[in-house]
Structure 1
Amino acid sequence: MGFTLLIIVIILALLFDYINGFHDAANSIATVVSTKVLTPFQAVVWAAFFNFLAYFLFNLNIADTVAKTADTMNINLVVILAGVVAAICWNLFTWWFGIPSSSSHTLIGGFAGAAVAHGGLDVINLGVIGKIAAFIVLAPIIGMIMAYTITVIIINICRYANPSRAEWWFKKLQLASSALFSLGHGANDAQKVMGIIAAAVIVYLKDENLSVDTMSHWLHVGYTVIDGKVKINHIPEWIPIACYTAIAAGTMSGGWKIVKTMGTKITKVTPLEGVAAETAGAVTLFFTEYFKIPVSTTHTITGAIIGVGLSKRVSAVRWGVTISLMWAWVLTIPVSAALAALIYTILSFFL
């Protein structure tokens, strides 16, 4: 039964990653599509390539942090299953209404809520969750300030440039800035599902009292336990390959509702502003990845787009849309946690 449950968790985690493609991966291409630098299909291929490239350029900081949301040694596979199911439900709900909520915080909220239902507050890492929750506010603010600053600097440097020639150059530069943002997105978002799958494998080995050395290569998740907490050192190659494939497929399948919201409804974005927003978003993602903080690419790029809008005037930002997005951000973790706790309670009667 344990192995069957592990396979179900892995499949649902990849399904979540696919739905994340509807939701968060679309954000990495929203500005480059809205400025017509690339067609939607070209943008997806471009983003998917740099998402995957991130695997070779970054370590497992984010995957490790996500796995530490709950005490892996004191939970079971039903906890992870309930968390992933809750995350899928909330993501589909917000995607249906075109709300760019955070898939990252959905997954973390679901994982934590199911863990609390299983063993109380003692089995979750409140320090990790508190840091992640703080960046619901900090990530968009950092992105906004950086994007505003970059936009103002670019405008002053290029104030005497020929407008048509400048736009031509910024369309080319947007390819580079969107590539940077996709690298940051790959280093951040894809690793979250890797962390959940790795945690599921570790829990399975623990519950079945198995050693990693006795397992086939595909279950060789390297980890150490320090002061009762698990640190992930290595994951087999199939996990990142599967995660990146799922998120890219999801983007091609249904991300355009979110692209429309991010690329046109918050403020009108020009190629210059696209460069500023994507560069600011990329730097923010690199910064948070370095400090092992899972942040939302949705929050980050939203803040950056608001920043470029503010560089024109305050009224250039459609604040009604922005406020509705912020409500979704605030509600994501508690709603996902409550839903996961309910699902865990129900599943516990059958598993």
Structure 2
Amino acid sequence: MHNSNIFIPFTFLILIFRFSNALDCSSPPKVIDVNQSGEGGSFRTIQSAIDSIPKPNTQWIHIRISAGTYTEAVTIPKNRPCIFLEGAGSSSTIVQASYHDRMSTSATLISLADDIIAKDITFKNTYNNPGFAHANVVKMLPASAAKVEGNRSAFYNCSFKGVQDTLHDHSGLHYYYNCYIQGAIDFIFGDGQSIYEKCAINFTTGIDGPIRDGVITAQNRESAGSTSGFVFKECTINGINGKTQLGRAYGPYSRVIIANSYLSDVVRPEGWSTWNQLEENLTYVEVNNTGPGANNAKRVKWMKTLSEEELNSFLNISYVDIDGWINKQRNTNNF
């Protein structure tokens, strides 16, 4: 272990400049309903409801999605920001598709616009459904449940289910609260600047899946000056059907911080992998965690430690909540 010199206040000035141009979505929100029966003039599919929104959009649109399983891929284009997708509960409103193609086009949810909220919904990619697997061998391919590229995107009480590359946390300021994220291989990946708070992270290939090792995160920070990183606070990490590393370096300056969380014995002793990147450029930090998987005795020696000031700069909600957009979204949409 050694101290890092990565805390440079100027980078946070860059962050504020980069993300300060928040769109002022007008209120009150316009309400649109989605129901598979089409009753009461509602839309039958989520995509048709999104397609009905004017572009460019500047008003909050509240899309209320009734309980049901919606077998469709959903795309929110860049010119339709200010959308609040609300389901009837993550166990009741399920959006699923079965695609494997380029990562940029094959997710069940592709969210490209800024100022997006999703609440009480499950997003699932069933392509790698391991129920057909025999013995301990199965070919798994990238198949994302969601790709989140827009800035100021927040997810509450949502579930993301897949096996490989489940949640493509591509880029932008993102906040995940009380979410469930399931997968086996690099299943939280990308270059987002994101806080995962009180989330349940479940390593699994599925109930009937093969026993194999995997990786939870693959964070893709590209430069020392980049402010991106994944922060997990007050989360739980569990799993079945094998053991998992906490992360490997998808980018040369990959950064992941896990704090005040519970780690089960599903976590491999070494914890992390360089994935052929330079050890000294990577920022993997574990602080105040509990559980059998939190034992750092056999962790990689190049794991970093942060000063209290450095650590607080990531754990504080201000790491993603530039200009207070999180409460502004919640207050405007009344939750």
More helix as a share of residues: 1
Q: TM-score under structure 1 normalisation?
A: 0.20
